[in-house]
Each structure stands twice: as C-alpha cells, then as structure tokens.
Amino acid sequence: MSYEIIQKIKREIAEFKDDPALRSVGTVVEVGDGIAKISGLSEALSQELLSIETASGAVPAIAFSLEEQFIGSIILGDASGVSVGDRVSGTKEVLSVPVGMELLGRVVSPLGLPLDGKGVLFAEGKGERYPLERAAPNVVSRESVKVPLHSGVKAIDAMIPVGRGQRELIIGDRQTGKTAVALDFILNQKADPGRPQVYCVYVAVGQKNSKIAKIVSDLERAGALEYTVVVSAPASASASLQYLAPFAGAAIGEYFMYNGKDALIVYDDLSKHADSYRELSLLLRRSPGREAYPGDIFYLHSRLLERAAKLDRERGGGSLTALPIIETKLGDVSAYIPTNVISITDGQIYLEDALFHQGIRPAINVGLSVSRVGSAAQTKAMKKVAGRLRLELAQFRELAAFVQFASDLDEHTRKRISRGELLTEVLKQVDGDPLPFYFEVVELYAALNGYLDDIPKEEVRAFQKGLIEYVGARHDSDVVEPLRSSGALDETTEGALKKAIDSYRSIRK
C-alpha cells in the first residue's frame, strides 16, 4: 500500500512541469487589528483576494483600499500569524462563497465554511461559487412586485403588506421584537399554499453567539431550518467578517433568485454592519464623515439592498426579498444610518418601545410603518377585509389621548375608542406563532364586521382562537379552501364565512 503511494507521488513529481515566471508580489509593511498595509502589488484589483505567505502558512486577505503607495487589506484568516515583511501575492480572483441547495439547513461563516459541525457542505467538485460583490439586476431585467410574501403577522399582512422582491426595513429600539418579526416571516414560509417555496437566508451580524444558537434551535424545532441558511458573523468575529456577512448572505440569496426560485434574506442587523465598516475604514485611515462613518456608507447599504429584486420571466422569474433590520437609539429614526436605510428601502415596519411595554406585541406603530410597493401584492381577500383597518386605527389614535376621560365623552367618541381598543387587541399576536393568511382574513373579517363588539377585551384572544379552530374543522370546504386556493373573498365564500361566525357565536353562548 505504502509502496503504491510512494510510486504515485514519484509519478506526480515526474509529470510536474514547472514554469517559473515573473509574477507580481507585495510585502506587508504594517499590520494590526486585522488590517495589513501592503507595498508593491501595483496591479492588484479592488476587492481582489490576496494570499499572505506567513511562517505558519498562507492567510487570505482582501485588497480593500488601493492607494498610491500602499494597499490597505483586510485579513480574513488568523491575523496573529501575519508579520511585517511577509510576502503577498494576488490571485486575480474576487472573494466568493460556495452556493447550492446543500446549504439549506446549515450554519455557515461569511467565507462559506460550515460552523454547525454537520460535516462538509459540498461533495468534491460540487457547488458553484458566487461572488460576494455583484452588480444588482438592471431595470430591464426587473419586474414589478406582485406576489405576496406573507409574514403570518396580522398587523403586517393587513396594513404593511410585503411582496416578493421588496425591501422592507424593520426598525426599532433594542428589545422591541425586531428579530421576532423577521423570524415570523421565516417561519411562515413553511406553508404558504399556492405559491412557490420561499428559501430563507438569515444573516447574523455582531449578534451574541447564544442568541444565534437559540435562533437556530427555534428554526430547527419549527421545521424551518430545512429551507433556511444561517450566515453567522457573531460579535466575537472580526470586523472584517462582520462586514462581509451581509454580502455573503446576498450571494447565497442570489443563487436562489437566479435559479428561478423565491428567496428571503434577513440582515440582522445593518447598524452593526455599519459599525464594522466604520471600524475598518478608520483603521485604514479613510476620512471620517458624519458620526465618524466613511463617506461611502450610503453606497455600502444601497449596493447591498439593490441586489434584492423580482426578476422578469425571461430571467427565470426568481425573487430576492430583503428584510434589513436597524436598531435605533431612544427611538431616534432621524439618525444617520436609519435615515439612509429608510430612504433605500421600499418601506419600514416601525416597532415602538412604548407599545412593547404596554403589552402590544408585535409592537408595530402602524402610523409610522409603511409599505410602498407591497399593496400591489396583497391578496384580494385581505385587501377587501383590511381596507378599513388602517383608517379605524388612525381615528382611534387621534382619540387615544382621551381614553382616560372615557366616561365624560359622547357616545360616538366612546364607541370609536372601544372599537380601536378592540382592534388593537385583535392585532396582538405571540412570537413564533404566525397565522396562515386565510385565518388572518377570518379573524379580521369577524373583528371589522362587528362580530366581536360585544366580546369583553380580555376574552378576545380566546374567541379568536376558538373561531379559527371551529372554521378550520367545520368549514374547510366552503371557507378555508376557497380562500386558500383563490386568495379572494367572493360573495359565496363571504356568505359561508358569515354563517360560520354566526354559528360559532351561538355555540359559544
């Protein structure tokens, strides 16, 4: 056996044709904090993958800023092994990650390496490579957003609908349920009948390892990990990996999109991503601008989010929906990064700290939340049912300040306030329990058509739960199935739904 191996090695050496040629090299002249300054390599490309030859082996790096005398590079491997004087060579390649269906159910690093201990990702020779940086689809190759992407959250699907290919920002202070809303989106993709499966990519940037582990286990328990890829660059990862994570996630999402599939990507969160970019830029001595962010911080996020698109039929008709998350400080949406990302995206879901502590969960402020393109993708049934919801809630908000004087108010105002309170109660929903859109239609129909007016506030949730169980069990053929298959609430279905609610009310009494 060993004889055969030696013979094989000998043959390999004998057949090896060496052709040493003049090649471009550089030298590390400064290193620290995951950054290396390199002299030489005058032909390096921007974002080119470099190889630093250290005493302990080759360490990859990226040519990040090309200056007159030096190249500022970010080290991707173990930076402690890199020292001044190490030789650097270019690869003429840009950074890429392996992509494929094999990634589903896996947790990977921004460099595409497995982090979940479930073994190799791809069999030898399998797996395409997609570049981390790629130009966004142009105007001609895009199509308008028209297919809904249901979140399973009543308030969102009814008032801030999201379509496949849209970019919807989730914004709010810390601990207001931003990640929970994004995870509901992922969980709800398990069963959205009549539409192609949405593959999900969850990108964790600068999150605690314990939080990422919990998210992965929650997704696994709910059976959502089988159609989800998690890209993890936790708080313990270097700034360079945190900077690359959203781009790696986008590359994975693009694989699904360019193969005619629908994909959803959650960037959790872009505030920390901006911070990591600021750190790298300051270490590379780029000029600091507002809040010490570099001048191209807007371009950083716009080029990332522009990669979300709905492609036309000639290009496979795939889509990539982006849900970036931004953490505000003390509800300040007018800070630099929040305003940037608000202006890039097609709407925002604004989560408010005060609502969260009042027990309204999800703590969505429907007045400040908006979806600019999603209404075109809303199902007819939902549009018909929820049309009045936003208006009624807006009227309630105007009167909300007078709630404490309710006994002194006139009958009409009192009715409006109690109706607003009822609708707020109806829109409450627990984390991790998204509702299929046809049941959302049933619940909202009952609430908006006065079937819940005589139900005490504290019994609303139990009423809704019972109604869903009743309609699901007894009216699958005449209510649930028509809603599920057509997405519309025609006269016949509406009649059946009315009867179903009436009969449930009579049973309940």
Partner 1 sequence: MKYSAQAYADALVEVLSETKGDTEAIARRFAELVRRNGDTERSDSILSLAERTLARREGGRVVLLEFARAPRAETISELAKRLNEKDVIETRVAPELIAGVRITIDGGSELDLSLRGKLKRLFSSRN
Give the residue, chosen from 31, 36, 41, 274, that forms a contact with partner 1 under the rule CB under 8 A: 41
In this complex, which beta carbon is closest to partner 1, that of residue 90 or of residue 362?
90
Nearest to 171 by CA among 328, 276, 305: 328
Give the interface segment with partner 1, choosing from 8-16, 199-207, 474-482, 486-494 (CB under 8 A): 8-16
* C-beta of residue 432 within 8 angstroms of C-beta of residue 222: yes
Give the residue, chosen from 2, 4, 14, 16, that forms a contact with partner 1 under the rule CB under 8 A: 16
Q: Give the Cβ contact number of residue 307 at 10 Å.
A: 22
> What is the nearest approach in angstroms of partner 1 to the Cβ of residue 100?
20
* C-beta of residue 421 within 8 angstroms of C-beta of residue 396: yes
Residues 168-197 contacting partner 1, CB under 8 A: none
Nearest to 266 by CA among 246, 252, 251, 248: 246
x-or-dash pattern for partner 1, window 55-84, by CB under 8 A?
--------------x---------------
> What is the nearest approach in angstroms of partner 1 to the Cβ of residue 97?
18
Q: Name the amino acid, one letter, at 366.
A: V
Give the interface segment with partner 1, choosing from 25-33, 162-170, 300-308, 322-330 (CB under 8 A): 25-33
416 a catalytic residue: no
**By CB under 8 A, is residue 210 in contact with partner 1?**
no
**By CB under 8 A, is residue 334 in contact with partner 1?**
no
In this complex, which beta carbon is closest to partner 1, that of residue 22 or of residue 123?
22
Give the interface segment with partner 1, choosing from 34-42, 165-173, 241-249, 455-463 (CB under 8 A): 34-42
In this complex, which beta carbon is closest to partner 1, that of residue 282 or of residue 342?
282
**By CB under 8 A, is residue 98 in contact with partner 1?**
no
Residues with Cβ within 8 Å of 184's Cβ and at least 6 positions away in sequence, in order, are 151, 152, 153, 362, 431, 432, 434
**By CB under 8 A, is residue 20 in contact with partner 1?**
yes
Of 129, 134, 372, 397, which residue is the catalytic one?
Answer: 372
Which residues are bridge partners to 50 per DSSP?
61, 90
Four-point Cα dihedral 185, 188, 191, 193, nearest 10:
-60
In this complex, which beta carbon is closest to partner 1, that of residue 57 or of residue 456?
57
**By CB under 8 A, is residue 330 in contact with partner 1?**
no
- Which two tokens mark 273? 């991503």
Four-point Cα dihedral 179, 184, 185, 187, nearest 10:
120
**By CB under 8 A, is residue 14 in contact with partner 1?**
no
Give the interface segment with partner 1, choosing from 39-47, 167-175, 328-336, 387-395 (CB under 8 A): 39-47
Q: Is 293 helix (H, G, I), strand (E, B) or coil?
A: coil
Give the residue, chosen from 33, 39, 66, 116, that forms a contact with partner 1 under the rule CB under 8 A: 39
Concatenate the DSSP letters of all residues of 420-475 into one string.
Answer: HHHHHHHH---TT----HHHHHHHHHHHHTTTTTTS-GGGHHHHHHHHHHHHHHH-
**By CB under 8 A, is residue 25 in contact with partner 1?**
yes
x-or-dash pattern for partner 1, window 291-310, by CB under 8 A?
--------------------
Residue found by looking up tokens 């080029």 in the block:
303
**By CB under 8 A, is residue 40 in contact with partner 1?**
yes
Nearest to 313 by CA among 147, 464, 457: 147
**By CB under 8 A, is residue 2 in contact with partner 1?**
no
Give the residue, chosen from 1, 2, 5, 23, that forms a contact with partner 1 under the rule CB under 8 A: 23
**By CB under 8 A, is residue 22 in contact with partner 1?**
yes
CA distances from 328 to 50, 272, 274, 325, 351 (A): 36, 11, 13, 10, 10
Separation between Cα atoms, residue 337 and residue 293, nearest integer Å: 9
Give the residue, chosen from 87, 134, 383, 414, that forms a contact with partner 1 under the rule CB under 8 A: 87
Separation between Cα atoms, residue 194 and residue 197, nearest integer Å: 9
Give the residue, chosen from 5, 13, 140, 473, that forms a contact with partner 1 under the rule CB under 8 A: 13
How many positions of this chain bind partner 1 (CB under 8 A)? Answer: 19
Give the interface segment with partner 1, choosing from 23-31, 200-208, 404-412, 484-492 (CB under 8 A): 23-31
Give the residue, chosen from 3, 4, 14, 42, that forms a contact with partner 1 under the rule CB under 8 A: 42
Beta strand pairing call for 107-108 and 228-233:
parallel
In this complex, which beta carbon is closest to partner 1, that of residue 22 or of residue 139?
22
Which residues are bridge partners to 58 per DSSP?
53
Give the interface segment with partner 1, choosing from 24-32, 206-214, 259-267, 474-482 (CB under 8 A): 24-32
CA atoms within 13 A on the CB side of 322: 32
**By CB under 8 A, is residue 27 in contact with partner 1?**
yes
Q: What distance, in Å, lies between the first and last C-alpha atoms of the chain?
A: 83
Which residues are tagged catalytic? 372
Q: Which residues bind partner 1 (CB under 8 A)?
A: 12-13, 16, 18, 20-27, 29, 39-42, 69, 87
